[in-house]
Structure 1
Amino acid sequence: ATAGLRGDYFSAQPEARLSPRLALSYQLSQRTTLSGSAGRYHQPLPVVLLVQQAENHDLPLLQATHYVLGISHLLSADTRLSVEAYRKDYRHFPLDPAQPALFLIDEIFYRYGFFFHHGPLND
């Protein structure tokens, strides 16, 4: 087991945050290991959103909590097969009240030639 605590300070949105992390692994056999981890991550809003309105600096930091469960198996001395499943729970992401399913950062990426699809976000 490994536990950690990351500290961040973001000057763009003056706020300090602690982000806990935990990773566990269990050796099922000499060749197979089960692993799991969870952690919280914080980051400021993208600059393009911060400069749009002064009030955006007062918004909370973006937050994601990650959960990962995996298994790996040593197939041979130089080959390992790993499979992982993960889940991410998001909080404090900017949403358009008129279109709450539209994630505002998607619109920014879309304008620059990228598009990311996601499921519904709840805050």
Structure 2
Amino acid sequence: MPITVRSRWSPPWASAPPSPSDSTRSAPVPRRGTEFQQKIRTQVRKDQKSSNWQRCYAIRAGCEATVSETVHAHGLRHCRYRGLAKTHVQHVLTAAGANIIRLLEITNSIQKMSQSR
């Protein structure tokens, strides 16, 4: 005689999710921060619209782009040598190489423009 097992099972996703009040006892905390922090954020956003701020940020963005290029394209994140002097030499040579590559790209683009005319 075969054995038959009957069970009632419902998958966990079939039931309603627990409410947040069931899992925590603390009072809800506002996420916007204090009024003082909000005033600072508002002032900073207002300052970011000024031409002086945008000019200064453009300088920083150019520097950040150069650093990012040397790190990602030329492997400046890891140094091959030990010691401050040798590390400095590697950084100077890497920067010089990046500048040479940039000059070659500019020269090639100028040549392409002159050939297309």
Length-normalised TM-score, structure 2: 0.23
Q: Which has the higher helix share?
A: 2
Q: Which has the higher strand share?
A: 1
Relative contact order, higher structure (CA 8 A, sep 6+): 1
